[in-house]
Amino acid sequence: MSQLQTSEARNPGLTLKSVKNLGNFKVLIAYALAVLIFIAGQIISPGFGEFSNIMNVLNISALLGFIALAQMLVVLSGGEGIDLSVGAMASFGAVMSSQIIGGLDGNLPLAILIVLAVGFLIGCVSGIGISYFKVPPLVMTLAMASVIQGGALVYTNGQPKGMASPLLKELGTGRTAGIPNLVFLWIVVAVIVAVFLTRTKWGKLLYGLGTNRLTTELSGVRTRVVRTVVYGASGAISAISGMMLLSYTGTAFLDIGATYMLPTIIAVVIGGIALTGGLGSYNGTVAGAILLTSLSSILITLNISEGGRQIVYGIILLLLLIAYGRQKTT
């Protein structure tokens, strides 16, 4: 109580606006850093800062951005929420899509339906384990990641068949007016997510659940059901993101999504989503995805190997967590 009063005395003018600005500040920094990277890249390796390369980077950013959306929803829902199975789920989504589509546009609708449904159901299993059987999210989703990986192996007999259809390929690699089609799709998704989070009942429930589970429960919300659905949604989004990965690469391989797991967490944190849940927006995650992809891109330009990049990712995540702290706890 007294602590609260003193903090009030210290921050008499701190309103929602300035809190929001704080979030926006992180987003601005992320964009500024991305711009800096392109400028530095242009100096080191002429051509890096050109429009077409920037579009390349955005194209890849979109892939990360889709999977990071799945991660963001889970982190936002609080309760130490984290989904370590997004990478495996994306891989599974990719190989499923590849086999169902088999290069034919006509199979697309069916593939989308099946991939979404399977992703949702598998995600719900994680959600049930976490909200009804009280398995910590970290452990639950790690275990599920292993199950999904194994499942993909069984499903494909170790060798994914099929490939993307022409239409899907056009979506993943084609450009309209010089801008990658995936980027257009990403913009549409971002707008939908923004509306969902700020203008719908479920968006508000997600923020409430992430901030304070007990208050949400006492307001008459079945928080365990909501949490289960959130993990289900994460699964569905990860799986359909796998189809987007396929659209970019044309053919799927078994660990196509594996390298995205850690970057999704970093992108979410860069974007100002509190790992304790309940605060942040997709806008920030988008910025995080762009920053991280441009960083990765310049590291490749500098001939730094995959191992080196992983080291950089890990260090960035740690630095971010130290810098932003685990700000609030309820």
* From 146, 176, 305, 330, residue interacting with another protein (rule: CB under 8 A): 330
326 binds another protein (CB under 8 A): no
Question: Smallest gap, in angstroms, from Cβ of residue 2 to another protein?
Answer: 4
322 binds another protein (CB under 8 A): no
Q: CA 328 to CA 90: how far, in whole Å?
A: 31
Reduced to 3 states (helix: H, G, I; strand: E, B; else coil), residue 293 is helix
Question: Smallest gap, in angstroms, from Cβ of residue 128 to another protein?
Answer: 17
201 binds another protein (CB under 8 A): yes
154 binds another protein (CB under 8 A): no
Widest distance between CA atoms in the chain: 66
Q: Which is it for the CA torsion 62, 66, 68, 73, positive or negative?
A: positive
Residue type, 29: I
- Distances in Å between the alpha carbon of 92 and those of 15, 130, 158? 44, 22, 12
Q: CA 315 to CA 299: how far, in whole Å?
A: 14
**DSSP letters along 141-165, please?**
HHHHHHHHHHHHHHHHTTS------
45 binds another protein (CB under 8 A): no
Within 79-138, the residues that bind another protein by CB under 8 A are: none
- Whichever of 222 and 326 has its CB closer to another protein, that residue is 222
What track of x and - describes contact with another protein for positions 243 through 282 (by CB under 8 A)? -----------------------------------xx---
Q: CA 60 to CA 297: how far, in whole Å?
A: 10
Question: Smallest gap, in angstroms, from Cβ of residue 10 to another protein?
Answer: 10
305 binds another protein (CB under 8 A): no
Q: Which stretch binds another protein (CB under 8 A): 24-32, 215-223, 246-254, 313-321?
A: 215-223
How many residues in the shown chain lie near another protein by CB under 8 A? 36
Question: Measured in Å, how far apart are the chain's first and last C-alpha atoms?
Answer: 14
Closest CA to 148 of 119, 176, 175: 119
What residue ranges bind another protein (CB under 8 A)?
Answer: 1-2, 4-5, 7-8, 11, 14-17, 19, 198-202, 204-205, 207-208, 211-212, 214-222, 278-279, 328, 330
